[in-house]
């Protein structure tokens, strides 16, 4: 496995050709390619990669709050989606596993670990959220797919509440041909129409601005599948992440976002975001929360 750590990012290429690139800013995965070099994630042409703004595309990491929570005193001062995506993470190292066979490296995979803790947060953020925590985010690339998982530990004396979301921008060719299955018969909150609670029947199709928080009735062990024109494009497996956000800004919202380019890019992306965001996870002193997703195609 070929690893490079330069230019504020870490990238890895498997002997079979798959690759991943992670920016230290936000520990944001900004590229994931299959062995033929096809990009699987959508990244805006105008995404800021210099740390001046959260990355528009890839997999930004949402913690400790999803959206904003004006009614939740402990997190009410934080910016939209918290500080994890806007903080500089530390690269903790890699562990790779090569194939058992000496003649073939076809099973080689790599895990890249990143860390963030209250001790390394900037002073401003510490002032907005004064809790003592540590987080380890692991990005694992295999020939079959990409897994991203987070462990958050309360290292302080006070309990704290948090939410976590893996804000994945999947690259697709034509949003009008996309169907999302695995969310059938599930309740969701429709953020486009004043946070109404609705019920999904059948597959999800996207025909306009979409911003929904699903809690899939089938539970986390059942995959959410994105198909395009009838063929499987992505499968998302979740571990301990009970909610799934489905987001597409459509034309008007995309036009209003300075870092969303090209403006027609909403046709080429769909955010399917595994997380724990409907309720708060309370972590007592010494407790840890663990959540992960595995994306495959
Ligand atoms: C989604 C939210 O997860 O992220 C949307 O449900 C939000 O409401 C979107 O618009 C993008 O957020 P941001 O902060 O990256 O523009």
Kindly report, residue by residue over 23-60, the tens digit of the pLDDT: 999 999 999 999 999 999 999 999 999 999 999 999 99
Sheet containing 28-33, strands listed edge to edge, beginning at the edge strand earlier in sequence: 2-6, 9-13, 19-23, 28-33
Tell me how far CA of residue 43 lies from CA of 56, 129, 207, 213, in angstroms. Answer: 6, 29, 21, 22
Among 247, 256, 271, 276, residue to substitute to test ligand 1 (most atoms within 8 Å of Cβ): 247
Higher-confidence residue of 103 and 274: namely: 274
Q: Tens digits of per-residue pLDDT, 190-248? A: 999 999 999 999 999 999 999 999 999 998 889 999 999 999 999 999 999 999 999 99
**For ligand 1, atom 11, which residue shows the shortest CA distance?**
247
The rounded distance, in Å, linking the Cα atoms of 295 and 297 is: 7
Task: Match 């995309």 to its residue by tokens.
Answer: 254
Q: Nearest residue CA, atom 1 of ligand 1?
A: 247
81 is catalytic: no
Atom of ligand 1 nearest to the CA of 213: 6
Q: Which atom of ligand 1 is nearest to the CA of 249?
A: 10
Quick one: which of 246, 249, 208, 205 has its CA closest to 228?
205
Catalytic residue among 167, 228, 284, 290: 167
What is the total residue count of the chain?
Answer: 297
**Where do we find the tokens 């959410």?**
224
CA distance 292 to 297: 17
**261 flagged as catalytic:** no
Residue among 78, 82, 211, 275 whose CB has most ligand 1 atoms within 8 A, to mutate = 211
* Residue 100 confidence (pLDDT) above 80: no
Distance CA 213, CA 70 (A): 18
Please tell me the class of the 2-296 domain. mainly beta
C-alpha torsion sign, points 117, 121, 125, 128: positive
Strand pairing of 133-141 and 109-117? antiparallel
pLDDT digits (tens, 9 = 90+) for 106-152: 679 999 999 999 999 999 999 999 999 999 999 999 999 999 999 99
Residue 1 and residue 91 in contact, taking contact as beta carbons nearer than 8 Å: no
Q: And the tokens for 136?
A: 């380890």
First to last CA, the chain: 21
Phi, psi angle pair for 91, to nearest 5°? -80, 120
pLDDT of residue 7: 86
Neighbouring-strand partners of residue 272 = 246
Dist. CA 163 → ligand 1 center (Å): 14
Rounded to the nearest angstrom, the distance between the alpha carbon of 136 and the centre of ligand 1 is: 23
Q: Which atom of ligand 1 is nearest to the CA of 191?
A: 8
Instruction: Confirm if 214 and 243 have CB atoms less than 8 A apart.
Output: yes
User: Could you tell me the distance, in angstroms and rounded to a whole number, from the CA of residue 86 to the centre of ligand 1?
Assistant: 14
Q: Would you say residue 158 has pLDDT above 60?
A: yes
Q: Kindly give the number of the ligand 1 atom that is closest to the alpha carbon of 54.
A: 15
Catalytic residue among 158, 273, 284, 290: 273
Query: Are 15 and 24 a contacting pair, CB within 8 Å?
Result: no
Contact yes or no for 58/20 (Cβ under 8 A): no
Question: So where are the chain's domains?
Answer: 2-296
101 confidence band (pLDDT: 50, 70, 90): low
* CA-167 nearest atom, ligand 1: 3
The whole-angstrom separation of Cα 228 and Cα 179 is 6
Stretch 236-263: mean pLDDT, rounded? 98
Helix (H) and strand (E) counts in the chain: 2, 21
User: Cα of 165 to ligand 1 centre, how many Å?
Assistant: 11
Per-residue pLDDT at 98 = 75
Q: Which of 64-78, 86-100, 128-142, 207-221 has the lowest mean pLDDT?
A: 86-100
Which burial class, exposed, middle or buried, applies to 33 when counting CB atoms under 10 A from its CB (0-12, 13-18, 19+)? middle
In the predicted structure, residue 279 carries a pLDDT above the cut 80: yes
Residue 29 contacts residue 57 (beta carbons within 8 Å): no
The pLDDT value recorded for residue 104 is 53
Spatial CB neighbours of 48, under 8 Å, sequence gap ≥ 6:
54, 55, 56, 259
**Residues contacting ligand 1 via CB (< 6 Å):** 54, 67, 80-81, 167, 191, 211, 245, 247, 273
Q: How many CB atoms lie within 10 A of CB 103?
A: 6
Q: How high is the pLDDT of residue 286?
A: 98
Residue nearest to atom 5 of ligand 1 (CA): 211
Buried b (16+ CB within 10 A) or exposed e, 197-224: eeebeeebebeebbbbbbbbeeebeebb
- Report how far ligand 1's centroid is from the alpha carbon of 172 (Å): 19
Percentage of the chain modeled with pLDDT above 90: 93
């Amino acid at each position: 496995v070929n690893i490079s750590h330069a230019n504020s990012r870490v990238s890895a290429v498997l002997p079979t050709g798959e690759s991943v690139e992670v920016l230290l800013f936000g520990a944001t995965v900004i590229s994931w390619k299959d062995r033929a070099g096809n990009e699987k994630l959508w990244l805006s042409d105008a995404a800021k990669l210099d740390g001046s703004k959260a990355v528009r595309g890839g997999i930004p990491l949402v913690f400790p709050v999803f959206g904003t929570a004006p009614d939740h005193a402990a997190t009410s001062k934080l910016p939209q989606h918290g500080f994890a995506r806007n903080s500089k993470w530390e690269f903790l190292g890699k562990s790779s596993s090569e194939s058992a066979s000496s003649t073939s490296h076809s099973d080689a995979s790599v895990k890249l670990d990143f860390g963030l803790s209250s001790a390394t947060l900037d002073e401003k953020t510490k002032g907005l959220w004064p809790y003592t925590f540590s987080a380890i985010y692991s990005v694992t690339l295999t020939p079959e797919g990409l897994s991203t998982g987070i462990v958050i530990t309360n290292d302080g004396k006070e309990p704290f509440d948090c939410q976590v979301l893996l804000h994945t921008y999947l690259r697709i060719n034509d949003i009008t041909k996309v169907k999302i299955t695995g969310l059938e018969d599930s309740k969701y909150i429709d953020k486009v129409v004043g946070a109404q609670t609705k019920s999904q029947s059948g597959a999800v199709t996207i025909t306009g601005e979409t911003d929904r928080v699903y809690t899939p009735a089938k539970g986390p062990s059942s995959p959410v599948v994105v198909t395009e024109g009838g063929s499987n494009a992505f499968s998302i497996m979740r571990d301990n992440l009970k909610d799934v956000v489905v987001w597409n800004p459509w034309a008007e919202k995309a036009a209003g976002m300075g870092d969303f380019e090209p403006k027609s890019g909403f046709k080429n992306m769909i955010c399917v975001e595994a997380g724990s965001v409907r309720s708060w996870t309370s972590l007592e002193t010494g407790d840890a929360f663990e959540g992960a997703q595995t994306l495959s195609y």
